[in-house]
Amino acid sequence: MVALPQRLNSSDVRVAYLVNQYPKVSHTFIRREILALERQGVPVARFAVRGWDDKLSDPIDDAERQQTRYLLRGGILGLLVAMLRFAASHPWRFMQAVRLAWRLGQGSVRSTGLHIVYLAEACLLVTWLRDSNINHLHAHFGTNPATVACLAKALGGPGFSFTVHGPEEFDKPLFLHLPLKIRAAHRVVAISSYGRSQLMRWVPQELWSRFAVVHCGLEPTFHAVADRTPEVGRLVCVGRLCEQKGQLLLIEALARIAARGRTFHLVLAGDGELREAVESLIRQHRLENRIEITGWIGSDRVREEIQSAQALVLPSFAEGLPVVLMEAMALRRPVLSTYVAGIPELVRPGKDGWLVPAGDVDALSLALEELLDAPHAVLNRMGSSARERVLARHDIDTEARKLHTLFRQAVDAAVPAA
């Protein structure tokens, strides 16, 4: 018989994190958050839907994988067994969750049948939460992890919270049933004020108090390194090769300044679904000797690439608040990005780097020329300003303390009065 998680004393906060894929090269910010919470004495159990056999570039991620339990690792049969056992032992809870799964599936970008799979995942997760004596669940992203967390609560699991990053949640909030998830959650975390404002659009004002801004953070081990002299004319763009990041526009802008006789070398650090299109455009403009693609790389190599460059360029079309901008700024490098989402909250044009309108190839090419023409002293001044700015706003231990407070409030609210 499956026992439901019991409410515990509010002084004992035991948290579980739920992520769709963990660890993951592009999700180092989640790993940093978990490790910072543990440094503050908060035990964190790691749960993920998938990721147990992915290729990893960072040895720290290897260690994290050993501590993570995966909902899909036992296959569909394992999920089916967990769901049947729960249905037999807690039929009323199970039927409530079935109705919620059906509701979440209506009008969703994912089918109702897939939401039954999410329900099965939630049945297994609730069992694991009980086994680990967890009294709060936190999910990253308002997509399927928040869905599973919501269903786990309906099954009698602990209260939950989730972090919204964007841009997917901002693009299709109703298809993701974001208002329903906000109502079910104890707290909802945004990584920028812009992100919080987008959440405010979809629920009544009386629910706005559930929102909190907790920034993604950096740990000192990443940026507490000696500065290096960058290579003149070298630029780096770090991120998944996808439509949101604007790499194709960046290549077009660089082709323009190359035609005007400018010298540069760009490193595209990352991989993704647009790699073939990116490579094709590079060949079309005959920039093979000026632009290179590294594929996925680990944190140490990311740091090396940033330090080797004069600046980081990220001409995003849609974002939350890119961690790589924080990383570059912490390493004393100015950044060139766009007026999108939470980016203007961090980057001050003329002080920490350059911002241009998203999608404007003319503005981007002009800013690139200004960057490449900037004297060494100007780049150094911007880099120092950028480092001071980001360390004041994005220290991971400071942000983890905010999360710890939110989790404790959630546990306090769940413990009945004596």
DSSP readout, 244-285?
GGTHHHHHHHHHHHHHTT---EEEEEB--TTHHHHHHHHHHT
Lowest-pLDDT range of 71-75, 377-381, 414-418: 414-418
CB 269 within 8 A of CB 294: yes
List the structure tokens of 152.
Answer: 């786990």
CB 249 within 8 A of CB 218: no
- 28-49 residue pLDDT tens: 999 999 999 999 999 999 999 9
Sheet with 335-338, edge to edge strand ranges: 291-295, 265-269, 234-238, 311-313, 335-338, 353-356
Q: Please give the pLDDT value at position 4.
A: 41
Residue 248 and residue 397: Cα distance in Å, rounded? 36
Residue 185 and residue 203: Cα distance in Å, rounded? 13
Specify the pairing of strand 234-238 against strand 44-50: unpaired
Q: Please give the pLDDT value at position 202.
A: 96
Q: What is the pTM of this model?
A: 0.92
Q: Please give the pLDDT value at position 299.
A: 87
- 160-202 residue pLDDT tens: 999 999 999 999 999 999 999 999 999 999 999 999 999 999 9
3-state helix, strand, coil in the chain (%, to 5): 50, 15, 35
Residue 237 and residue 293: Cα distance in Å, rounded? 10
CB 182 within 8 A of CB 207: yes
Higher pLDDT: 388 or 26? It is 388
Residue 165: HSE in the Cβ half-sphere, 13 Å Cα cutoff: 17
Q: Please give the pLDDT value at position 116.
A: 96
Residue 135 and residue 408: Cα distance in Å, rounded? 10
Distance of CA 372 to the CA centre of its chain: 31
Question: How many CB atoms sit inside 10 A of residue 74's CB?
Answer: 13
CB 160 within 8 A of CB 185: yes
- 75-127 residue pLDDT tens: 999 999 999 999 999 999 999 999 999 999 998 878 889 999 999 999 999 99
Indicate the DSSP class of residue 4: P
List the structure tokens of 119.
Answer: 């329900």
- 287-323 residue pLDDT tens: 999 999 999 998 899 999 999 999 999 999 999 999 9
Quickly tell me which residue has 């099954």 as its tokens.
155
Q: Which domains does the chain have, with CATH numbers?
A: 15-217+396-414 (3.40.50.2000), 221-393 (3.40.50.2000)
Q: Report percent pLDDT > 90 for the chain.
A: 89
Residue 361 and residue 374: Cα distance in Å, rounded? 20
| Sign (positive or negative) of CA dihedral 401, 406, 411, 412 | positive
Q: What angle do CA 168, 173, 176 make, to 5 degrees?
A: 85
Helix (H) or strand (E) holding 190: strand 187-190
- 218-259 residue pLDDT tens: 999 889 999 999 999 999 999 999 999 999 999 999 999 999
**In whole numbers, what is the pLDDT of the chain averaged over residues?**
94
